[in-house]
C-alpha cells in the first residue's frame, strides 16, 4: 500500500514539475521567429491570427528569401482572399437575419450578448492555454489527429454549404420554385451567373428528406430535419473530395477552400445583435491578441503545433513553382472573421437606415470595409518592415471601430447606431423576466 502511494506521489510530482516547466516556457520568451507549421518554416508569425512568411524546411536549413515580385503576388492574393468572404458573408448575413426574424422564437439563432462579448477573450485565452498544455503533455500527433478529424468533418459541412450556394447561383435561371418542387414546373429567375446561358433547361429536382423525431402520445418532438436534392448531393461529393485531398496532401489550395468556407459561414451566421456588443468584443480581443503575441510564447507555440486549416496561405514562389510552391505568406482566420462580423453588422445597420430613413447608400458598410482593407495593409507593411510577428487586431480593431464611429458622429447617427438591434427584445419579455426573478 505504501509502495502504491509512493508511486502515485512520484507521478503527481512529475505532473507538477512538467506543468511548472510549461508555464516557464510559456512566458519565458515571446520572440521566437523560426518555426514550423505543417513542415513549413515560418519567419514572422502572429500565432492563431497570423500574418507570416514561410518557406519549406525540406529545401534547406535556412529560410529562402522570396523575390519582391513573389511577395507582392502573395500579399495581394491574401488581401483579396480576406476581402472576399467579408464582402459576400456580410450580404448573406442580411438575408439570414431577415429570414431568422420569420422563424419561431425557439428556432431563432443564438445572439451574442454584451456579457458573452466580455467573456469571449477570457474563454479564448483558456482554450488557447488549454491547447498549449495539451501539446506539452501529449504528443502533437495524437492531439492533431483529433483536431484533424474534427476540422475534416466541419470543413466538409462548411464546403457543402458553400458549393450549394455556388450551384444555386449557376442554375438559378431554371431552378424550380417551392411550388415547382411538387408540380414539376420550372421557374425562370433573373440571370445571376455568367455561365447560366451555357446550361440547358433541367427538370425539376426531386427532394429527399431525412428527419429524426420522437413521438409521445400526440406530441411530436423534432430533433433533426434535413431536406436535400441533387445540388446538395453534388456539393457534398465535391466537398468530400476536397476533404480527402486536404487530408492526404495538405495542399495550400485545399487549405484555402476550407478556410474561405469557414470564414464565409462564420460571418454570415454569427450575430452580434448590437453595436455595443461588437465594440466590447473587438476591444477585448484587441488586448487578447497583443498579450498572447507580445507577452508570451503561447500563441506562437500553439500555432506552430496546430495542424488544421485555421489560416489562409498564398505562395510567394508561385511564379517560379506554380501549384507546387512551398514558400507561403499566411493570414489567420481570426483576423478575418472577428472584424468581418462587425463589418456585416454595419451593413445590416445600413439596411435599417434605408428602411427607416429612406437612405440609399451603404455609408457605414463601405467605410468599415475600407477600414478593414487599410488596417490589413498596415499590418502587412509593419510586419514586412520590422520582420517580426504582428497581432493583426492591433491595427484592424482601431480602424474598424474608429472610422464608422467617427462617421456616425459626423453624420449625427451615433445615438441611432448604438440603439440599433438586429433582434429587438420585447419590453414585455424583459418585464416578465424581472418579475419571475422577484418571485423566485
| Residue-wise pLDDT tens digits, 206-259 | 677 777 777 777 777 776 677 777 788 888 999 999 999 988 888 889 999 999
Q: 186: burial class by Cβ within 10 Å (0-12, 13-18, 19+)?
A: middle
pLDDT score of 430 more than 80:
no
Q: What is the mean pLDDT of residues 321-335?
A: 83
Most confident of 193-207, 281-295, 400-414: 400-414
**Residue 390 three-state SS:** coil
Helix/strand/coil percent split, the chain, to 5: 65, 10, 25
Place of cell 411530436: 220
Contact 10, 280 (CB under 8 A): no
Q: What is the mean pLDDT of residues 98-116?
A: 78
Most confident of 26-40, 84-98, 160-174, 310-324: 84-98
Q: How confident is the model at residue 82 (pLDDT cuts 50, 70, 90)?
A: very high
pLDDT score of 19 more than 60:
no
Query: What is the Cα 82 distance to its own chain's centre?
Result: 11
Average pLDDT taken over every residue of the chain = 76
pLDDT score of 145 more than 80:
yes
Q: Which residues contact 217 (CB under 8 A, 6 or more apart)?
A: none
Sheet holding 328-332, edge to edge: 35-37, 40-42, 51-56, 328-332, 311-315
CA nearest neighbour of 228 among 209, 244, 215, 247: 209
Q: Looking at residue 396, what is its pLDDT? A: 94
d(CA 114, CA 366): 25
Q: What is the mean pLDDT of residues 341-364?
A: 90
Helices (H), 172-229: 180-183
Let me know if 289 is a catalytic residue: yes
Q: Looking at residue 28, what is its pLDDT? A: 52
Q: 335, 350, 413, 422: which is the annotated catalytic residue?
A: 335
d(CA 151, CA 139): 19
Helices (H), 101-197: 114-137, 140-171, 180-183
d(CA 155, CA 386): 35
Apex 302 CA angle, 392 and 375, nearest 5: 5
Query: What is the Cα 15 distance to its own chain's centre?
Result: 35
d(CA 302, CA 126): 13
Q: How confident is the model at residue 340 (pLDDT cuts 50, 70, 90)?
A: very high
What's the number of CA atoms in the CB half-sphere (13 Å) around residue 67?
8
Q: What is the mean pLDDT of residues 268-274?
A: 87
Q: Looking at residue 25, what is its pLDDT? A: 55
Q: How confident is the model at residue 370 (pLDDT cuts 50, 70, 90)?
A: very high
* Helix H or strand E segment including 403: helix 393-411
CA nearest neighbour of 256 among 426, 397, 132, 84: 84
Q: Looking at residue 114, what is its pLDDT? A: 85
Contact 38, 303 (CB under 8 A): no
Lowest average pLDDT, out of 110-124, 350-364, 381-395, goes to: 381-395
Q: Which residues contact 98 (CB under 8 A, 6 or more apart)?
A: none
Residues forming a β-bridge with 330? 52, 313
Let me know if 56 is a catalytic residue: no
Apex 381 CA angle, 376 and 385, nearest 5: 150
Angstrom distances, CA of residue 11 to CA of 14, 20, 353 = 5, 14, 63
Lowest average pLDDT, out of 11-25, 289-303, 320-334, 392-406, goes to: 11-25
Q: 41, 46, 56, 289: which is the annotated catalytic residue?
A: 289
Q: What is the mean pLDDT of residues 140-160?
A: 87
Query: What is the per-residue burial (b if ≥16 Cβ within 10 Å, else e) of 365-380?
Result: bbbbbebbbebbebbb
pLDDT score of 190 more than 50:
no
Q: Looking at residue 90, what is its pLDDT? A: 92
pLDDT score of 302 more than 80:
yes
pLDDT score of 87 more than 90:
yes
Q: How confident is the model at residue 280 (pLDDT cuts 50, 70, 90)?
A: very high
pLDDT score of 365 more than 90:
yes
Q: Looking at residue 239, what is its pLDDT? A: 92
d(CA 412, CA 422): 20
Q: Which residues contact 314 (CB under 8 A, 6 or more apart)?
A: 73, 74, 75, 77, 78, 81, 252, 256, 328, 329, 330
Query: What is the per-residue burial (b if ≥16 Cβ within 10 Å, else e) of 92-108?
Result: bbbebbeebeeeeeeee
Between 226 and 329, whose confidence is greater?
Answer: 329
Q: What is the mean pLDDT of residues 16-38?
A: 44
Q: Looking at residue 196, what is its pLDDT? A: 41
Amino acid at each position: 500500500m505504501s509502495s502504491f502511494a509512493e508511486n502515485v506521489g512520484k507521478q503527481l510530482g512529475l505532473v507538477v514539475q512538467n506543468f511548472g516547466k510549461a508555464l516557464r516556457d510559456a512566458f519565458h520568451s515571446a520572440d521566437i521567429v523560426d518555426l514550423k507549421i505543417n513542415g513549413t518554416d515560418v519567419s514572422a508569425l502572429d500565432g492563431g491570427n497570423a500574418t507570416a512568411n514561410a518557406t519549406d524546411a525540406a529545401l534547406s536549413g535556412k529560410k529562402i528569401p522570396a523575390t519582391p515580385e513573389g511577395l507582392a503576388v502573395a500579399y495581394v492574393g491574401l488581401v483579396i482572399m480576406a476581402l472576399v468572404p467579408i464582402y459576400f458573408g456580410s450580404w448573406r448575413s442580411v438575408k439570414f437575419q431577415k429570414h431568422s426574424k420569420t422563424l419561431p422564437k425557439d428556432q431563432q439563432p443564438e445572439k451574442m450578448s454584451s456579457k458573452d462579448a466580455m467573456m469571449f477573450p477570457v474563454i479564448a485565452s483558456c482554450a488557447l492555454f488549454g491547447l498549449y498544455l495539451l501539446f506539452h503533455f501529449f504528443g502533437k500527433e495524437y492531439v492533431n489527429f483529433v483536431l484533424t478529424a474534427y476540422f475534416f468533418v466541419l470543413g466538409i459541412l462548411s464546403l457543402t454549404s458553400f458549393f450549394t450556394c455556388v450551384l444555386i447561383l449557376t442554375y438559378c435561371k431554371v431552378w424550380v420554385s417551392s411550388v415547382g418542387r411538387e408540380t414539376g414546373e420550372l421557374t425562370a429567375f433573373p440571370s445571376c451567373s455568367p455561365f447560366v446561358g451555357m446550361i440547358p433547361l433541367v427538370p425539376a429536382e426531386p427532394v429527399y428528406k431525412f428527419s429524426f423525431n420522437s413521438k409521445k402520445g400526440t406530441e411530436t418532438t423534432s430533433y433533426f430535419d434535413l431536406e436535400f436534392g441533387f445540388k446538395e448531393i453534388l456539393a457534398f461529393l465535391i466537398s468530400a473530395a476536397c476533404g480527402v485531398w486536404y487530408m492526404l496532401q495538405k495542399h495550400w489550395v485545399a487549405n484555402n477552400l476550407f478556410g474561405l468556407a469557414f470564414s464565409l459561414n462564420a460571418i454570415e451566421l454569427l450575430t452580434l445583435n448590437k453595436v455595443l456588443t461588437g465594440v466590447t468584443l473587438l476591444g477585448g480581443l484587441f488586448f487578447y491578441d497583443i498579450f498572447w503575441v507580445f507577452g508570451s510564447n503561447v500563441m506562437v507555440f500553439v500555432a506552430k503545433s496546430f495542424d488544421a486549416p485555421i489560416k489562409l496561405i498564398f505562395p510567394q514562389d508561385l511564379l517560379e513553382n506554380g501549384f507546387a510552391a512551398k514558400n507561403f505568406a499566411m493570414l489567420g482566420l481570426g483576423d478575418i472573421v472577428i472584424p468581418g462580423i462587425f463589418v456585416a453588422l454595419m451593413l445590416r445597420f445600413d439596411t435599417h437606415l434605408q428602411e427607416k430613413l429612406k437612405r440609399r447608400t451603404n455609408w457605414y458598410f463601405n467605410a468599415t470595409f475600407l477600414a478593414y482593407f487599410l488596417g490589413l495593409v498596415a499590418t502587412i507593411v509593419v510586419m514586412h518592415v520590422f520582420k517580426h510577428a504582428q497581432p493583426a487586431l492591433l491595427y484592424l480593431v482601431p480602424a474598424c471601430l474608429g472610422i464608422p464611429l467617427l462617421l456616425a458622429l459626423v453624420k449625427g447617427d451615433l445615438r441611432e447606431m448604438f440603439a440599433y438591434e438586429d433582434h429587438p427584445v420585447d419590453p414585455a419579455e424583459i418585464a416578465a423576466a424581472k418579475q419571475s426573478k422577484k418571485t423566485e
